[in-house]
Amino acid sequence: MKNNIFWLIKNSFVLDYKFFKVSDWNFFDNFIFIIKKYFTIIKHFFKKFELGKDFVFFKNKRIYYDSKLGLAGYQSILSRHQKLMKIAGIKNVLTVVDIGANVGFFSLMCSDLFPSCKIFSVEPIKNTFNCLGKNVHGNKNIRIFNYAISNFNGTAKMTFDKNDSAVSMLNYESGNIQVNAKTLDDLTDDNNLTGIDILKIDVETFENLVLLCGKKHWL
């Protein structure tokens, strides 16, 4: 247990360093973000995390987070994905589809990086979807959809842990929650999309099902 704590602390500091290197925010915002990250982690040593109720104020808005680790998940996305985009030289993005949006951290990042793009954020689980809606409220370029993307239209079962919504996944046999499902092709048809510049898929090992019915326009 002691070794695990030291490992977590070490990796958290490494993430802070990477975050400072890649972030386009000013130094003050970066510093405040990290302070708030550690505040939320310490807070949940004493208070149970509640999805949809726990949030922090940052840059004059509420950020609802997805686990007792608070803003750490957001920081991880800001660090890793921004670095990948800069390495790849991704620019002039017009359309982003965020499948498995969770509470919207990736969508918020894309809205910051590409303020003129259209973002389609898809999250199937109602509790998490409500947090997504709160986080993107006021971002006119983000549209949200409450269903799963898979290889069929209908309903499906998923596992859902209210203490860590990021690990939710399809589970046809023993899922504890039922969600609506739609294909990626239908999502694009319904919204008149003829191409996607960034397609982010985070569906916990079911990515192949998303891609099976997502090849009408671009795959």
Predicted pLDDT of residue 3: 52
Predicted pLDDT of residue 218: 55
Q: Map out the domains of the chain with their CATH numbers.
A: 1-89 (no CATH), 92-219 (3.40.50.150)
Predicted pLDDT of residue 217: 56
pTM higher than 0.75: yes
Residue stretches of the chain with pLDDT short of 70: 1-3, 173, 216-219
Average pLDDT of the chain is: 90
Predicted pLDDT of residue 1: 47
181: its two tokens: 């499902």
